[in-house]
């Protein structure tokens, strides 16, 4: 890793690491009467570790200019490994929190193991740890390949990847000791948020710089989506997290937004995190790995344009559908609902474009579990975007809101769409990136596919049933006009579904372990491919890249 | 770029671009997609006309249907209160005896009481009212303050050791921890209490301690629990001779109770539930037991 950095990049890496370590030390000193102290020392250790790693390889020979004739793949490999590690960790936590709902004693009387702390560990670990690392890794791959350009330097990519993982680490460890700003999917406190802004802006600049070096006249669709993902997530993150810390020595901060405005900002953020993190980014992934694996051209460029602009425009308005029947003014709810309905067609256009791309390759879908991962992901994408628009309709929402139906919907998207497209992309990418003939075991890819699909189906059917029953029980009145059920009655009714959900999650978790093993063994044990074709930027342009 | 290329499967032209092997077809947007797109837009625009939707400075378009969620909730509250008043008025005005004599009202008490109990009482007393460790069983006909409907309603209204100014107050002192009784006295008093509900405990080897415990009991405990240990409902002191225990009736738990004392807490429901709902709950709780008084 260090050997691929130039001398000046090594110096920069040490400088940044030491700077991070000093910040950590400052936090540890300022926050010595607060939980911030723990994070101070964690940041200090992280910075020193990075500095040490670079110093350790500092005198290795510098990379030659030959590197400029190839793509820079080292951070992509690290990103895939980190992504799978986070997947296994956060899916395990997911199974645990699912079990807690059926068997509450599984907290073992430990504060850190309570539901309220473990749940954000699960959501952050999956969305940011697994999803974020997967997006960073694949976007680095796609931006270079579709631009036929090596990324402009070696250091930025590492800074983005490692810095992002520091953010994830701070978030997750913070929740366990009680650090949270209590905003869903934005629980991390102010210092972690500021750090993420620095990392994310670097990510954006790196992406744009690479695109600017492209040797293709046109920018491929996948890059539109990745850029939208990076740009909008930056905006969302900054606006939703504007907060004033109690002091520089305290982890706690208070948002500048308050009351219903705060709720609106939070769900504008929350819904667009779904839109631009969990949708746009992964559509970028789909737009590259699906046609590559299927060896088919994209069904329709025009449909791509329609769905891209439809998704980016309409999603921005839809967040208020999370606040139906609340203190949020009725007119804002109406706008959220109608824009969610108009969003349906662009979303389906994306899913349809993906599935129609498979025309002429359905025999491959049948035989190749990797391609099947991506095909099923597109189906779940279509399914959950329909469900989302449907649930955004106010009268439907009056039944579904606050119930497990929402949880089921989220997981149809997160398991069925996000995770499946990621696994499909990884199985496509890993052999090519490490220049192996194939995956270590196609049979294990097949096993993983069926475990993932079965787990997803068990999970969402359990939550649909549970959610609809719950919603109906809450609103059922007796003839005399009193509620027919108490809240506890609805909990009793949900119990079997909670067990089923845990089982579904467990299947999915086992699948991810098998996938990680398969990727690991591919890197370790599969022989190098004799010839994978040329996977290099246009050699005639090396002179330009050499600057 | 200008090379015209056709996809052999679909017969469509490509756009002429290629990115690392990926191409795109120049397929027009399917008609169905456009029609569907138009339909959703027509729906949205219609909805904007009907409902409150677009902001106009400090006001907004109210919509032709004149719907407003605040108004809707208010109307629903009024109409459901009106629906309930047909029987709620009777519950509020009639005496407990009169309600109990009316099977129709009692069936409402049962169904509505179940929900009220589940949402307000079950967290401590259990969904079946059978209590759990440290929380009283309401179905066993053993009552601290009395189990007739009026008393139950009063206990709910003021609570026990609660913040209500008229709260019932009861405390089992911590005889051991506060040094009122020494270690041996705590043990013997507990042995005596235990023997009251466990005849087989009075074996020759235990009888000495039990006898000693009785003296401790008379001197320290009888003032609340009574010389016969049957408790005193005016003070909320439990009957110690029956098989019903809140904190547990095994010897060790009794020792713990005598040593460390007990202070139960029943919240006041005076301002959280309406008078009618408290009456319903009192009748409901009363109906859980096999009846007394």
Q: Using one digit for the tens of pLDDT, what is the confidence trace for B165-184?
A: 999 999 999 999 999 999 99
DSSP code of residue B128 = T
Residues A217, A222, A223, A227: is their CA dihedral positive or negative? positive
List the single residue in A330, A480, A483 with the smallest CB-CB distance to B69: A330
List the single residue in A146, A217, A325 with the smallest CB-CB distance to B69: A325
Non-local (6+) Cβ contacts of B260 within 8 A are B174, B176, B177
Name the least confident of A464-478, A521-535, B268-282: A521-535
Q: Where are the domains of chain B?
A: 71-167+266-288, 183-260
Is residue A229 within 8 A of residue A280, CB to CB? The reply is yes
For A394-411, give the DSSP string. HHHHHHHTTSHHHHHHHH
Is residue A133 within 8 A of residue A83, CB to CB? The reply is yes
Q: Report, as an integer, the average pLDDT of B258-262.
A: 96
Distance from CA of B247 to the nearest CA of A (A): 21
Q: Cα(A515)–Cα(A422) distance, rounded to whole angstroms?
A: 11
List the single residue in B29, B37, B112 with the smallest CB-CB distance to A302: B29
Q: Report, as an integer, the average pLDDT of A70-95.
A: 97
- Residue pairs spanning A and B at CB distance below 8 A: 159
In this predicted structure, the answer to whether residue A547 has a pLDDT above a threshold of 70 is: no
Is residue A318 within 8 A of residue A303, CB to CB? The reply is no
Q: Does B19 sit within 8 Å of A146, measured CB to CB?
A: yes
How many other C-beta atoms are found inside a 10 Å radius of the C-beta of residue A96? 20
Q: In a mutagenesis test of the A interface, which of B3, B13, B22 is the best target, namely the one with the most A β-carbons within 10 Å? A: B22
Q: Does A306 sit within 8 Å of B29, measured CB to CB?
A: yes
Query: Which CATH number fits the domain A74-528, given the four candidates 1.20.210.10, 3.30.365.10, 2.40.50.140, 3.40.1260.10?
Result: 1.20.210.10
Q: A526: pLDDT confidence band, cut at 50, 70 and 90?
A: confident
Would you tell me which residues 359-388 of chain A have a C-beta closer than 8 angstroms to some C-beta of chain B?
359-360
List the single residue in A331, A334, A481 with the smallest CB-CB distance to B83: A481
| Local structure of B151: helix, strand or coil | helix
Q: Is A480 on the interface with B (CB under 8 A)?
A: yes
Chain B residues in contact with A306 (beta carbon < 8 A): 29, 33, 37
Would you tell me which residues 405-434 of chain A have a C-beta closer than 8 angstroms to some C-beta of chain B?
none
Chain A residues in contact with B23 (beta carbon < 8 A): 291, 297-298
Q: Could you tell me if residue B66 is left (phi over 0), alpha (psi between -120 and 50 degrees) or otherwise beta?
A: left
Q: Residue A80 has what pLDDT? A: 98
Q: What is the token pair recorded at A82?
A: 């980190």
Q: Does B10 sit within 8 Å of A360, measured CB to CB?
A: yes
Would you tell me which residues 202-221 of chain A have a C-beta closer than 8 angstroms to some C-beta of chain B?
216-218, 220-221
Helices A36-56 and A7-30: crossing angle, nearest 10°?
160
Phi, psi (degrees; rounded to nearest 5) at B263: -135, 100
Give the architecture-level CATH label for domain B183-260.
Orthogonal Bundle (1.10)
Task: Give the pairing type, strands B59-60 and B55-56.
Answer: antiparallel
How many other C-beta atoms are found inside a 10 Å radius of the C-beta of residue B80? 13
Residues A134-180: tens digit of each pLDDT:
999 999 999 999 999 999 999 999 999 999 999 999 999 999 999 99
In this predicted structure, the answer to whether residue B82 has a pLDDT above a threshold of 70 is: yes
Q: Is A306 on the interface with B (CB under 8 A)?
A: yes
Q: Residue A426 has what pLDDT? A: 98
At the topology level, CATH places domain B71-167+266-288 in Cytochrome Bc1 Complex; Chain D, domain 2 (1.10.760)
pTM: 0.92
Interface predicted TM-score of the whole assembly (ipTM), two decimals: 0.90
Q: Is A299 on the interface with B (CB under 8 A)?
A: yes
List the single residue in B33, B47, B84 with the smallest CB-CB distance to A481: B84
Average pLDDT for chain A: 95
Non-local (6+) Cβ contacts of A272 within 8 A are A232, A236, A315, A316, A319
List the single residue in A288, A302, A345 with the smallest CB-CB distance to B36: A345
Non-local (6+) Cβ contacts of A428 within 8 A are A289, A292, A293, A370
Q: Does A485 sit within 8 Å of B17, measured CB to CB?
A: no
Taking Cα atoms as reference points, which of A126, A80, A129 lies closest to residue A430?
A80
List the single residue in A146, A304, A338 with the smallest CB-CB distance to B20: A146
Residues A404, A409, A412, A418: is their CA dihedral positive or negative? negative
| Local structure of B237: helix, strand or coil | strand
Q: Cα(A163)–Cα(A121) distance, rounded to whole angstroms?
A: 18
Chain A residues in contact with B63 (beta carbon < 8 A): 334
Residues A403-445: tens digit of each pLDDT:
999 999 999 999 999 999 999 999 999 999 999 999 999 999 9
Is residue B80 within 8 A of residue A350, CB to CB? The reply is no
Would you tell me which residues 87-126 of chain B have a C-beta closer than 8 angstroms to some C-beta of chain A?
87, 108, 111-112, 114-119, 122
DSSP code of residue A245 = E
In this predicted structure, the answer to whether residue A109 has a pLDDT above a threshold of 90 is: yes
Q: B100: pLDDT confidence band, cut at 50, 70 and 90?
A: very high
Distance from CA of B155 to the nearest CA of A (A): 22
Q: A533: pLDDT confidence band, cut at 50, 70 and 90?
A: low
Q: Cα(A144)–Cα(A506) distance, rounded to whole angstroms?
A: 36
Would you tell me which residues 11-70 of chain B have a C-beta closer than 8 angstroms to some C-beta of chain A?
14-15, 17, 19-30, 33, 36-37, 40-41, 43-44, 47-48, 51-55, 60-61, 63, 67-70
Chain B residues in contact with A341 (beta carbon < 8 A): 40, 43-44
End-to-end CA distance of chain B: 98
Taking Cα atoms as reference points, which of A488, A305, A242, A304 lies closest to residue B114?
A488
Q: Residue A187 has what pLDDT? A: 97
Would you tell me which residues 237-296 of chain A have a C-beta closer than 8 angstroms to some C-beta of chain B?
288, 291-292, 296
Q: A538: pLDDT confidence band, cut at 50, 70 and 90?
A: low
| Greatest C-alpha distance within chain A | 84
Q: In a mutagenesis test of the B interface, which of A481, A487, A535 is the best target, namely the one with the most B β-carbons within 10 Å? A: A481
Q: Which residue of A has its CA nearest to B36?
A: A345
List the single residue in A145, A329, A483 with the smallest CB-CB distance to B115: A483
């Amino acid at each position: 890793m260090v050997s691929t950095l130039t001398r000046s990049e090594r110096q920069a890496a040490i400088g940044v690491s030491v700077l991070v370590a000093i910040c950590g030390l400052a936090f540890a000193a300022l926050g010595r009467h607060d939980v911030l102290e723990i994070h101070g020392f964690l940041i200090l250790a992280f910075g020193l570790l990075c500095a040490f790693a670079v110093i350790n390889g500092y005198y290795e020979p510098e990379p030659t200019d030959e590197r400029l004739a190839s793509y820079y793949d080292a951070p992509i490999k690290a990103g895939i490994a980190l992504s799978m590690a986070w997947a296994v960790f956060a899916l395990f936590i997911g199974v645990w929190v699912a079990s807690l709902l059926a068997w509450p004693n599984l907290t073992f009387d430990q504060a850190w193991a309570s539901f309220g702390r473990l749940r954000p560990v699960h959501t952050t670990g999956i969305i940011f740890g697994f999803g974020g690392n997967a997006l960073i890794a694949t976007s680095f791959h796609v931006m270079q390949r579709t631009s036929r350009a090596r990324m402009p330097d070696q250091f930025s990519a590492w800074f983005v990847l490692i810095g992002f993982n520091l953010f994830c680490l701070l978030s997750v460890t913070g929740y366990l000791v009680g650090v949270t700003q209590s905003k869903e999917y934005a629980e991390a406190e102010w210092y972690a948020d500021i750090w993420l802004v620095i990392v994310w802006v670097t990510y954006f600049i790196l992406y744009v710089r690479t695109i600017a070096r492209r040797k293709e006249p046109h920018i491929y669709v996948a890059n539109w989506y990745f850029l939208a993902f990076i740009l909008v997530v930056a905006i969302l993150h900054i606006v939703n997290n504007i907060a004033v810390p109690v002091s520089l020595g305290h982890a706690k901060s208070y948002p500048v937004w308050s009351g219903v405005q705060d709720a609106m900002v939070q769900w504008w953020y929350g819904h667009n995190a779904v839109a631009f993190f969990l949708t746009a980014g992964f559509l970028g992934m789909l737009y590259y790995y699906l046609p590559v694996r299927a060896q088919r051209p994209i069904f329709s460029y025009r449909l791509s344009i329609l769905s891209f602009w439809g998704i980016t425009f309409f999603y921005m308005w839809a967040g208020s559908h999370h606040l139906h029947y609340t203190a949020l003014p009725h007119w804002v709810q109406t706008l959220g609902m109608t824009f969610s309905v108009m969003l349906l067609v662009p979303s389906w256009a994306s899913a349809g474009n993906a599935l129609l791309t498979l025309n002429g390759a359905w025999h491959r879908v049948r035989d190749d579990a990797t391609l099947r991962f991506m095909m099923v992901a597109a189906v779940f994408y279509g399914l959950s975007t329909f469900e989302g628009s449907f649930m955004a309709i106010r009268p439907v929402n009056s039944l579904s809101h606050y119930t497990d139906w929402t949880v089921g919907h989220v997981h149809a998207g997160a398991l069925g769409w996000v995770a499946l497209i990621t696994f499909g992309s990884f199985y496509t990418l890993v052999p090519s990136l490490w220049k192996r003939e194939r995956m270590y075991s196609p049979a294990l890819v097949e096993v993983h596919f069926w475990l993932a699909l079965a787990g997803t189906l068990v999970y969402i059917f359990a939550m649909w049933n549970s959610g609809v029953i719950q919603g109906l029980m809450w609103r059922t009145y007796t003839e005399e006009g009193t509620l027919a059920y108490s809240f506890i009655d609805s909990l009793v009714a949900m119990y079997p579904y909670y067990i089923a959900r845990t089982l579904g999650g467990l299947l999915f978790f086992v699948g991810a372990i098998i996938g990680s093993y398969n990727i690991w063994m591919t890197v370790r044990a599969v022989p190098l491919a004799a010839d994978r074709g040329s996977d290099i930027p246009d050699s005639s342009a090396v002179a330009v890249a050499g600057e | 770029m200008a090379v015209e290329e056709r996809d052999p499967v679909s017969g469509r032209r490509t756009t002429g671009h290629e990115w690392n092997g990926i191409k795109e077809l120049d397929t027009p947007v399917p008609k169905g997609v456009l029609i569907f797109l138009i339909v959703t837009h027509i729906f949205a625009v219609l909805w904007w006309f009907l409902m409150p939707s677009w902001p106009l400075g400090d006001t907004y378009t109210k919509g032709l249907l004149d719907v407003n969620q605040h108004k809707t909730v208010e109307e629903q509250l009024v109409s459901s209160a009106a629906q309930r008043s047909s029987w709620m008025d009777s519950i509020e005005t009639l005496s407990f005896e009169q309600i109990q004599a009316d099977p129709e009202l009692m069936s409402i008490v049962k169904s509505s009481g179940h929900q009220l109990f589940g949402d307000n009482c079950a967290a401590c007393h259990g969904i079946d009212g059978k209590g759990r460790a440290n929380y009283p069983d309401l179905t066993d006909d053993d009552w601290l303050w009395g189990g007739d409907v009026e008393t139950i309603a009063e206990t709910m209204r003021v609570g026990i050791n609660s913040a209500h100014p008229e709260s019932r107050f009861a405390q089992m002192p911590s005889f051991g921890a506060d040094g009122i009784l020494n270690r041996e006295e705590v043990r013997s008093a507990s042995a005596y209490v235990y023997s009251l509900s466990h005849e087989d405990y009075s074996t020759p080897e235990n009888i000495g301690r039990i006898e000693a415990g009785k003296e401790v009991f008379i001197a320290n405990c009888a003032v609340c629990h009574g010389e016969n240990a049957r408790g005193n409902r005016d003070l909320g002191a439990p009957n110690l001779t029956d098989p019903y225990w809140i904190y547990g009736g095994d010897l060790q738990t009794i020792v713990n109770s005598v040593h460390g004392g007990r202070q139960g807490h029943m919240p006041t429901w005076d301002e959280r539930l309406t008078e009618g709902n408290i009456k319903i709950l009192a009748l409901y709780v009363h109906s859980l037991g096999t009846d007394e008084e």
